[in-house]
Amino acid sequence: MTDFEHLTLVILISSAFLITVAWLLLLRPIALKIGLTDKPSTRKKHSGDIPLIGGLAIYLCMVFFMLTESKLIAINMGFLTATSLILATGLIDDFKNLNLKLRFFAEIVAIVIMIKWGGIEITSLGDLFGLGEIQLGHFSTPFTVFAILGGINAFNMIDGIDGLAGGTSLIIYFVLSLLFVTTHYTNFLLLCMVLAAATTAFLLFNLPMLGRKKAMIFLGDAGSMLLGFTICILVISASQGAHKIIAPVTALWLIASPLLDTFAIMIQRIKQGRSPFAPDREHLHHLLPIAGFSRSATLVSILLFSLLLALAGLTLDLVFNAPEWLMFSLFITVFVCYQYNLSHAWKMLKVARYLQKNTSNKRRSLNRRRIITPSLITMSNKRRVSERRNNGDRRYQATDADIKKFNQSRFQNAYSPN
């Protein structure tokens, strides 16, 4: 990239950030007035009504650049139409809990629009089993619908603590930007940069920072669905077609964290005889605080986990050129381990609590040794006893019993009659 292109990119990122901030400040009082807020409940522990406008602000920023930036216009109107339907569905769900079947129907319609009008489709799964490339053929459209539907709802389901869905999306946008910057996908690079800048602006209002102790704004279902949809489209674009830059299996590693958590939870619910979409508090971001992690430690831990998985997939693919069947086998192994630990979470929590209790007890014991000293033991007495030690062994140190005995003898000598 030339210096001019670098400058243009910096201006684009800065503008996207500032435009999103402006939209958030403008929409917040409106959302409070019309009731587009998230209210505390038995499952939601925040205090006060929080506006659900994060997704709307990100969408408005994206639309502005898609209508004004020539290279983004090239993405076509199919993408804009599909994302608009996704956002509208999420906003209705935020205002009034939408029937699950209606929400899925709207999401499927948006995905079909993206496939038929936008030209984004999964046609190949790569060589997952070492038997040759798997071409989907007539199953391409239904498989793409299933995959994107799963991705959308995976991001929706991990949106349980402040900054998790937004932070995970930001990591993926950043990784994809690094991939697109070395290819001819200039339009997708710009889209990634715009979405990354807009998501960063949202996190500024969502995370407790700048003296705030709670979030000012939430993503809402509209936001988590929008982020999940755009990430799925970008990942599919990077892993399909003649000009693909990553193997199809690498796409799983890029979005591994939400996929692992969502599908592990759904399997667990089905085993318990519940609906796989039934709400609960058994996600990883719910279990870590129970184990003693703070909210910030929980967030950082899961984001680092997401980053490590994404980098592991890219390293295996682009650096070591690992076979796709091996990458898929490793991913399944990670999923099995994750699912086992999640299904046996009570054991993991017991171990975590024991370790935490043991560590805290050691700290208390250490502090007690530093602060509390036995009665009648003074530093001067320790020094005197040390001075009277045997000169033949310079390593000798007076014990507490020696010091106590020395003090008692001094006391008796002081008050004994002559």
Question: Position 150: which residue type?
Answer: G
Could you tell me which of 18, 22, 21, 24 has the C-alpha nearest to residue 51?
A: 24
Q: pLDDT of the chain along its 418 residues, tens only?
A: 666 577 888 999 999 999 999 999 999 999 999 999 988 765 566 667 899 999 999 999 999 998 888 777 667 788 999 999 999 999 999 998 899 999 999 999 999 999 999 889 999 999 999 999 999 999 999 999 999 999 999 999 998 889 999 999 999 999 999 898 877 677 888 999 999 999 999 999 999 887 778 889 999 999 999 999 999 999 999 999 888 999 999 999 999 999 999 999 999 888 888 888 887 778 888 888 888 888 899 999 999 999 999 999 999 999 999 999 999 999 999 999 999 988 887 666 666 666 666 665 666 666 665 554 444 444 444 444 444 444 444 334 455 566 666 666 655 555 555 4
Say which residues have a Cβ less than 8 Å from residue 9's Cβ, sequence separation at least 6. Answer: 1, 190, 193
Does 2 map to a domain?
A: no
Give pLDDT, residue 20. Answer: 97
| Residue 361 belongs to a domain | no
**276 found inside a domain:** yes
Give the Cα separation of 407 and 116 in Å (integer): 93
What is the pLDDT at residue 385?
A: 44
Q: Tell me the C-alpha to C-alpha distance, in Å, between residue 74 and each of 86, 117, 118.
A: 20, 13, 11
Q: Which domain holds residue 117?
A: 11-356
pLDDT tens-digit profile of 115-158? Answer: 999 889 999 999 999 999 999 999 999 999 999 999 999 999 99
Q: How many domains does the chain have?
A: 1
Instruction: Please state whether the predicted TM-score (pTM) of the whole model is above 0.85.
Output: no
In a domain, 401, yes or no: no
Q: Is residue 1 part of a domain?
A: no
- Is residue 383 domain-resident? no
Rounded Cα distance between 270 and 117, Å, is: 36
Helix 164-180 vs helix 295-314: angle between axes, to the nearest 10 degrees? Answer: 20
- CA-nearest of 310, 306, 311, 309 to 285 is 306
Query: Is residue 398 assigned to a domain?
Result: no
Task: Look at residue 399 in the predicted model and tell me its pLDDT.
Answer: 56
